[in-house]
Amino acid sequence: MNQTQFKFGRNIYNKFSQLSIKEQFSIGFRILRLQAQILFFNRFYWFIAAIFGYFVIAYIINYKSDMINRLSQNDVLLALFMIPFAVLAILLNMQIISREKDNRTLEVMFTTSGSRYKVWILRVTTLNLILLSISIFFSTFVFFTFTEIEIIATGFHAFVPTFFIGSMTLYFAVKFRSGFAAGMLVGGFIMLHFMFTEVLEDTKYSLFFNPYDIPRRLDPETWSLWMWQNRITVLLLGCFLQFLALRGLENREKMLQ
């Protein structure tokens, strides 16, 4: 074995922590890319194109509107981000379980050596990182096309309810062993929430809390406190739902029915 082969073979069996930062980044990026291909089943660009088309149509409508009726910083979060991102979160989380069952690969997860939770955690983490990246990307798009906004902050505020909706979809998909049933339940929950939007919009209990639309009766400091209470609570509830979903995957016989 020559020196090059010996060096290559030695790198194969090195622990991840022993690799260089460049090698760790390369492996991490490759894993995320492969997980993204599984999640989007090679239709990632179609999903992005659909969201981009929604934003383009919204831009045309906004451009043709009177100046006084155009979207401002207070409006873009609810008008542009909530609906397409909620639909995207539901569709992708529906597929995490149902696609594995349809392809008859779900049982492989139960026979994987080591902890099967690592596989699911990696997949869910990849999905949420992609959703966060998409939120920030389209926040940048809105900044240059619609109105000046805080790019990172707006992307984060758009991601929080998306994360909760996705977590709820995943939980129901595991609970009822059906992605379609999960999508219907979460869709009904969102429609019910929109029916009570006027009641909840000036409170801290709205899932689609808009931190930029400050009511006149409240001072900004109170509204900022409510914002943090809302965001932390929604994130914790989303994490709890994902925990319940992962725990539900322990029941092998029930999931394979």
pLDDT at position 5:
43
What is the extent of the structural domain holding 176?
A: 23-255
Q: Is 235's pLDDT higher than 60?
A: yes
Please tell me the predicted confidence (pLDDT) of residue 156: 93
CB distance 161 to 233 below 8 Å: no
Q: Give tens-digit pLDDT for 73-83.
A: 888 888 889 88
* 211 or 98, which is more confident: 211
Question: Does residue 16 fall inside a structural domain?
Answer: no
Task: Examine residue 18 and state whether it is found in any structural domain, yes or no.
Answer: no
pLDDT in tens, 33-79: 666 666 666 677 787 888 888 898 988 988 888 878 788 888 888 88
User: Would residue 3 count as lying in a domain?
Assistant: no
The number of distinct structural domains making up the chain is 1
- Rounded Cα–Cα distance for residues 134 and 128 (Å): 10
Sign of the four-CA dihedral 5, 11, 12, 14: positive
Domain-located, residue 220: yes
Q: Is residue 30, in this structure, part of any structural domain at all?
A: yes
Residue 9 has pLDDT above 50, yes or no: no
Rounded-to-integer distance, Cα 146 and Cα 128, Å? 26
CA distance 166 to 97: 13
Predicted pLDDT of residue 7: 44
> What's the confidence (pLDDT) of residue 233?
95
Report d(CA 146, CA 73) in Å as an integer.
Answer: 9
Q: How far is C-alpha 157 from the chain's CA centre?
A: 12
Is 8 part of any domain? no
- Predicted local distance difference test score (pLDDT) of residue 10: 47
Across 128-148, average pLDDT: 90
Residue 114, pLDDT score: 54
Mean pLDDT throughout 171-193?
87
CA atoms of 74 and 61, how far apart (whole Å): 17
pLDDT value of residue 30? 73
* 13, part of any domain: no
Q: Which amino acid is at 62?
A: N
Res 125: pLDDT: 86
Is 196's pLDDT higher than 80?
A: yes
Residue 1 placed within a domain: no
pLDDT, one tens digit per residue, over 84-124 is: 899 889 988 887 776 666 555 555 555 555 556 777 788 88
